[in-house]
Amino acid sequence: MSTIQDVNAEQLAKLFHHYREALTHDNESSKGEATSSWDRVPESERKLMVTSARLALLELSTPPVEMTPGRKYFAKPGEADWGC
Torsions phi, psi of 22, nearest 5? -65, -40
Nearest Cα neighbor of 54 from 14, 12, 6, 83 is 12
DSSP state of 32: T
CA angle 31, 37, 42 (to 5 degrees): 115
Taking the whole predicted model, whether its pTM rises above 0.85 is answered as no
Question: Cβ of 54: how many Cβ atoms within 10 Å?
Answer: 16
25 within 8 A of 35, measured Cβ to Cβ: yes
* Length of the chain counted residue by residue: 84
Measured between alpha carbons, how far is 6 from 21 in angstroms, rounded to an integer? 25
pLDDT in tens, the chain (84 residues): 567 778 888 888 988 888 888 888 765 554 444 546 888 889 999 999 999 999 988 888 888 777 666 556 666 777 777 665
